Amino acid sequence: MHQALFISHGSPALVISDHPARDFLIELGQRLPRPRGALVVSAHFETPGVTLGSAAAPATLHDFYGFPEALYQMRYPAPGMPDTARDLSTSLQAAGIDVSLDDERPLDHGIWSPLSLVWPKAEVPLLPVSVPMALTSREQLETARQLGDFARDHDLWLIGSGAATHNLGDRRPEGTPPDAWAQTFHDWASEVAERGDLAVLADWQRQAPHARHAHPTPEHFLPLLMVVGAMQGEPLHALHQSFSFGNLSMLTLASQALAAQWQAAA
């Protein structure tokens, strides 16, 4: 049974902002059981191929500029999973996927920012997984399938942290309703995830409405693609839908197992 989440992580300042997505992420950690560990595919960990963070005690990376000083003082000391990273590397290589280990990789804000709201005590071990930018969409989906199988077989969660829409040049003042292009792409992404439509995802840059405008660069969409790919056709259900800065989607999706637990704890 897959236990998977896709989280649109928004601005680093979400952790200190008054926003429905922040309230949701706090509630998510309160309503769902804590996993024994999680693989986290982050939009802010870009590499040509697949790289796994294998640090035993990863540092907190403040990979952003011009934000309130309080954010730069934050630390998220979640333990790493070096042994699991090595096991996952072996598994991926056996499937014909090139992979490397980075034993100094810190937790970027795509990981610690949302998860500090979900698990504020930083007690859940985390294994950062890069978005493999040089792979084709089909290769990314195959990598995702292997990640999903490994997570399921080792009783781990698979989490993708990105954004359902991510055009920072088209932000609006906070509280502004989303433009039509943002709402349309957000709805498309949610529907494709609900259908588990891997064929459409493999060609998303041509088939998705407003794809190039919603994602001028693909790194924030790839965690969503890889979580849907990991599900191998099983649906992902929307747990939260809102927008930040007008056009920045804060969509969160969950596998059937986690969605059922979310509803049962309501």
Asked if pLDDT for residue 173 goes beyond 90, the answer is no
Structure tokens at 228: 């849907």
Reduced to 3 states, what is the DSSP secondary structure of residue 42? strand
Alpha carbon distances (Å) from 187 to 77, 165, 183, 218, 236: 35, 10, 6, 18, 13
Report residue 174's pLDDT band, with 50, 70 and 90 as the boundaries.
confident
Beta bridge partners of 158: 4, 39
- How many contiguous H segments (helices) and E segments (strands) does the chain have? 11, 10
Question: d(Cα 5, Cα 25) in Å, to the nearest integer?
Answer: 12
- The order of strands in the sheet holding 4-8 is 99-102, 50-53, 126-132, 38-47, 157-162, 4-8, 252-255, 236-240
Quick count: other Cβ atoms within 10 Å of Cβ 247? 25
Give tens-digit pLDDT for 7-16.
999 999 999 9
pTM: 0.97
Using alpha carbons, select from 197, 261, 203 the residue that is nearest to residue 232: 197
Give tens-digit pLDDT for 56-106.
999 999 999 889 899 999 999 999 999 999 999 999 999 999 999 999 999
Alpha carbon distances (Å) from 214 to 93, 108, 189, 230, 243: 33, 23, 11, 23, 13
Q: Helix 222-230 vs helix 137-153: angle between axes, to the nearest 10 degrees?
A: 50
Reduced to 3 states, what is the DSSP secondary structure of residue 22? helix
- The secondary structure of 99-138 as a DSSP string is EEEETT--B-HHHHHHHHHHSTT--S-EEEEEEETTS-HH
Alpha carbon distances (Å) from 202 to 10, 12, 236: 25, 29, 17
Give tens-digit pLDDT for 214-226.
999 999 999 999 9
Instruction: Give the mean pLDDT of 174-195.
Output: 96
Which CATH superfamily hosts domain 4-264? Answer: LigB-like (3.40.830.10)
Report residue 197's pLDDT band, with 50, 70 and 90 as the boundaries.
very high
